[in-house]
Amino acid sequence: MERKTYTVSELNALIGNLLEDSFPGPVYVEGEIGDYKKSAAGHIYFTLFDDKSLIQCVLWRSRAALLPEHMADGTGVIVRGRLNLYREGGRYSLVVDELDIAGVGMKGLKLKELKEKLQKEGLFSSGRKRSLPFFPRTIGVVTSPSGAALRDILKVARRRNPFVSLLLSPCIVQGEEAPARITEALQRLYTRPEVDVIIVGRGGGSKEDLSAFDDERVVRAVVSSPRPVISAVGHEIDISLTDLAADLRAETPSAAAEAAVPSFEDLNQKILKLHYALTRAILNTASFKDKTIEELSGRLFRRSPETILNNLALRTDELALRLSRRLDHTLKEKKEKKRSIEQRMTLRAGQLFLRQQQRKETLHAHLGRVAPLMAVQRMLSRNERRAGQLQERILFLLNEKKGRLTEKRGRLQGASPLDPLQRGYVIVRQNGIAVEDPGRLSPGSDVMLEWKAGEAAARITDVFFRKGE
């Protein structure tokens, strides 16, 4: 039998004809949407899958308007279309004419149930989220060693801070084995005490490619991390369960590196600002303390024993001066009062004597007319005796008053601070304060000598002390 050899184009054409002839009419297929994408030309490409297989589908732009505005991966649908083989590429697909929503699909339901379960356990609670360290020295990275995510993280980390170390715990990030490998990679980093924060994630991809980060094992491994975890799965529009469980969700791996690695330049600027703020705080505090010390020094000076003694000395001198003036005034009043009493007593004695003489003369005249001579003589004798007694009494009272006045005057003069001056003594004053102890003086001290009649300035040439003093 002669061997038949086909070219690639002939074989693809034959397969295409067989496929299209086998399904001449439209077919109805039920499954879940995945890898939903809309091209720039307006055509829509997606996969239709179940738990065992998938098929590529295309919806031309002319029919795309029939779809809802937003289609989510995992949506269950029933499509009508026809099979077509793209002969140049050797790929067959289902060209969709109609699409009906059948539900969220089996995979979408399972994901929703898992999310609700983990949420009830509090694994997504904001209360358990931890803050990132201010300056991590070592950052653990869980991702594929050959993926773009690792290159992006390295690039950003070197640019922001070359002093931060990165420790890679490699693993596969898609496929059936991915959840177990990601969990093992995380567990390896948990045993490394030098790791301060962990980045787990990968670059963009289809919903199926990112499904490993919706696995319960990965989510629980992230939650059990002893260090803060940053999740960076896919792009901004992709949100996985790992994103919800992590301490921080970054839109991309690059954004995760930006969040984890502090900028060296920013740190320098912060240090300069803190240094400036600290310097100003120190200067302000020092200025405040200086003012406080100055104020307290003034208060201490005003309340110091020396100041208090000086004030008391001034007060004593003032009181002594006021007492001296008061004594002079009192002595003057006493003298005036004594003079007035003497004048009144002298006048009173003269009046009494004159009255007695008048009465005596009257009695003599009356007795000459009506009484015997002896009776008149007895009366005169009695009256003379009484007048003498009265004069003696008056003189006794005057002498007693003079004695009391002299005693009080002596007491007042003895209490006067100026009394020593009356007796010829001298008061020595230094800076207006009386010097009671020669120990307060020293050679060269300037003093004032005060007598009753005036004052004189003097300078101490030497100081002597009496023995036993």
Over residues 245-275, the pLDDT tens digits come to 999 999 999 999 999 998 888 777 888 888 8
Is 88 in the same domain as 39?
yes
The domain boundary, picked from 204, 237, 262, lies at: 262
* Containing structural domain, residue 442: 418-469
Over residues 194-209, the pLDDT tens digits come to 999 999 999 888 777 8
pLDDT-derived band of residue 319, with 50, 70 and 90 as boundaries?
Answer: confident
pLDDT, average across residues 287-292? 84
* DSSP line for 154-201: HHHHHHH-TT-EEEE-----SSTTHHHHHHHHHHHHHT-TT--EEEEE
HEC assignment per residue over 43-67:
CEEEEEECCCCEEEEEECHHHHCCC
Read off the CATH number of the domain in which 92 is found.
2.40.50.140
pLDDT, average across residues 301-308? 72
Chain-centroid distance of CA 359 in Å reads 107
| 76 within domain boundaries | yes
Q: Domain tally for the chain?
A: 4
The domain boundary, picked from 415, 441, 457, lies at: 415
Q: Residue 439: what pLDDT? A: 78
Residue corresponding to tokens 């003895």:
414
| 267 within domain boundaries | no
Nearest to 312 by CA among 22, 466, 304: 304
Is 174 in the same domain as 242?
yes
Q: Residue 373: what pLDDT? A: 60
Is 55 in the same domain as 179?
no
Q: Residue 106: what pLDDT? A: 55
Estimate the crossing angle of helix 253-260 against helix 148-160, to 10 degrees: 30
Is 219 in the same domain as 114?
yes
Estimate the crossing angle of helix 178-190 against helix 216-223, to 10 degrees: 10
Q: Residue 464: what pLDDT? A: 81
pLDDT-derived band of residue 383, with 50, 70 and 90 as boundaries?
Answer: confident
- Is the pLDDT at 416 greater than 80? The verdict is no
Q: Which stretch of 11-25, 103-117, 432-446 has the lowest confidence by average pLDDT? A: 103-117
Q: What is the mean pLDDT of the chain?
A: 84
Decide: helix, strand or coil at residue 304.
Answer: coil
pLDDT, average across residues 348-372? 74
What percent of the chain is modeled with pLDDT above 70?
90
- Is the pLDDT at 423 greater than 70? The verdict is no
Indicate the helix (H) or strand (E) that contains 331. helix 305-370
- Which of 37-41, 298-302, 308-312 is most confident? 37-41
pLDDT, average across residues 26-43? 88
Is 423 in the same domain as 394?
no
d(CA 167, CA 151): 13
Is 121 in the same domain as 251?
yes
| 279 within domain boundaries | no
Over residues 56-97, the pLDDT tens digits come to 999 988 887 766 666 777 788 888 898 888 887 778 889 998
Is 227 in the same domain as 205?
yes
Indicate the helix (H) or strand (E) that contains 102. strand 91-103
The domain boundary, picked from 210, 236, 262, lies at: 262
Nearest to 58 by CA among 77, 39, 76, 45: 45
| 117 within domain boundaries | yes
The tokens for 341 are 């009493």
Is 26 in the same domain as 59?
yes
Is 399 in the same domain as 425?
no
Chain-centroid distance of CA 462 in Å reads 63
| 268 within domain boundaries | no
| 299 within domain boundaries | no
- Is the pLDDT at 168 greater than 80? The verdict is yes
| 158 within domain boundaries | yes
Over residues 99-130, the pLDDT tens digits come to 877 765 556 667 888 999 999 999 999 999 99
What percent of the chain is modeled with pLDDT above 90?
27
| 397 within domain boundaries | yes
More confident residue, 468 or 165: 165
What's this model's pTM, rounded to 2 decimal places?
A: 0.45
Is 15 in the same domain as 141?
no
Q: Residue 352: what pLDDT? A: 82
Q: Residue 227: what pLDDT? A: 95
Is 144 in the same domain as 230?
yes
Query: Contact, 241 vs 182, CB < 8 A?
Result: no
Is 211 in the same domain as 168?
yes
